[in-house]
Amino acid sequence: MNNAFYIAEDRGKGKQGLVRNYIYYMGCMKEWDKKLFFATILVALPLVASMLLQTLLPSVLIQGLEEKLPIGRLLAQMGALSGLLWLLGTLAGVMQEYGYTGQSYFSLYFMKKYVSKIM
C-alpha cells in the first residue's frame, strides 16, 4: 500500500495529512488576501443554490399547469426563478474567476516566505 498520501492524519514523522495541508493553505490565503479566501470558501453557496433552483424550476411549471394558473402569473413565476438562476450563475462565475486569478498569484506568498527565511 502506498503511504505517500494521508487523508486525515499524520502517520509518520514529518508527514502531513491532506486535511492539515489544506487548512494551512487556507490559513495562509486568509493572511494574504481575505477577499480571495472568502471567495474560495463561499463559491459553493451560489452553486448549490442554483442547482436547487434548476431542480425546482420544472416542478413549479408543472404545478402551475396542474393548478391552471393564469398564463401571466405562471410566466412571472418562471421569469423570476429564471432571473434568480441567472443571477446566481453569474455570481458563482465571478467568484470562481476571482478565485482562479487570485490563486495564480498566491504562489508568490510562499515564495516570499521562503526568500525571507533564507535571507
* Distances 101 to 18, 64, 114 between C-alpha atoms, Å: 23, 43, 22
Stated pTM of the model: 0.67
Q: Where are the domains of the chain?
A: 1-32, 43-118
Tens digits of residue pLDDT in 2-55: 555 555 555 555 567 778 888 888 888 888 888 888 888 888 899 999 999 999
pLDDT value for 50: 93
